[in-house]
Amino acid sequence: MDFTLPSDLQEIQTTIRNFVLNVVEPRAHEIEESNSIPPELIKQAAGLGLFGLSIPEEYGGVGLSTLGRCAAYEALGQGHMGFGGMVSAHASIGTSGLVRLGNDAQKAKYLPGMAAGEIIAGFAITEPTSGSDAANIRTKATLHGDQWVLNGTKHYISNAPIAGLLTVIAITDASKGSKGMSAFLVPMDTPGVRVGKIDEKMGQKGSLSAEVIFDEAALPADSLLGPQDLGYREALSILTNGRVGIAARSTGAMQRLLDLCIAHAKAREQFGKPIAEFQAVQFMLAEMEIDIQTSRLLWQKVAWMVDAGQDVRRMASVAKYHATEALSRVADKAVQVAGGMGYMKEYPIERFYRDQRLLRIYEGTSEIQKVIIAGDLLR
């Protein structure tokens, strides 16, 4: 049993880590102030293949396995979390449905532009009346002749303000309940589709989300993604596989926080010696390392399970729950180790502290993860 990442994945991690630390992080203040990602950073990220991590090489992507993508996400997590959130929302849940379910024509139409970062993608299921209760969506798609007509409102949709394409879950047969939902590929320039209120969030600046309104939005029949009336099942599958990516990004963020704390603890002196020599500080660093190592082992196991074709419903929830809860603990300890400096906006620990809080909520809250885990155990 070898837990060492293959050398090619280690090289990918190094390349991405260097990019986010040396290119993105120096512009973190600019991203925070403008709440947007500079276009040149998006272009540079595309040049590194970050938008094509899950897209097959034949369509211009990198074509990484789940293990490879998550290795990349861990490296991405060490940088600005808003930037990482924008990229991962595209490369994970925004892209995976089309890659897995799309027909040849749909893939040829969209995937090359998505891999090149020319079409930013997102995934739209959440609505004002449905968050954790994803089966309660009300957006409807009605077939009129050779067109599907969408009506409804989604909200908190990541990448919506900059997206060119959304995968949208809508009701196609209300009589079937959750078994009457379908997935659709919806270009954002479709008449009747518009972005509503852009969300003002506590953190993750630059990773924009917004409501999306569908008002008699007519789509060609071939916009249906995958089988009709199986959208809810496919949506759950997309979210399940996306959770391991969040676990990996959380692990990367924890590693960055620990690195910052170690450097600070060695440099900061109190009572005539570095605070790294005080056992109270050493214990916090040790606890951070424990959370990092356990989270890393979990995402690696679940990614391996996905690539092996195994059912990961329970273990993806285990990994997501553990890593995001661990990140909250690590972020809190990081502020404590850094003291007053950790509370200041010019120091990255303050930003990570705000940014990480969302990870325990989106793509399934911590409470929903426990419901999934317990339900699987008792099934």
- E-state strands within the chain: 121-124, 140-144, 147-158, 165-171, 181-187, 193-198, 209-220, 224-225, 269-270, 273-274
Q: How many CA atoms lie within 13 A of 349 on its CB side?
A: 24
Backbone angles phi, psi at 224, to 5 degrees: -65, 130
Cα maximum dimension of the chain: 80
- Rounded to whole angstroms, the Cα distance separating 307 from 304 reads 5
Helices (H) and strands (E) in the chain, counts: 12, 10
Tell me which of 211, 234, 350, 363 is the catalytic residue.
363
Token pair, residue 24, equals 């993105």
Cβ–Cβ under 8 Å, residues 237 and 216: no
Identify whether 11 is a catalytic site residue: no
3-class DSSP state of 257? helix
Backbone angles phi, psi at 136, to 5 degrees: -100, 25
- Unique residue bearing structure tokens 């789940």: 66
Separation in Å, CA 225 to CA 35, 96, 184, 247, 316: 32, 12, 5, 27, 24
Backbone angles phi, psi at 117, to 5 degrees: 75, 10
Residues carrying an active site annotation: 363
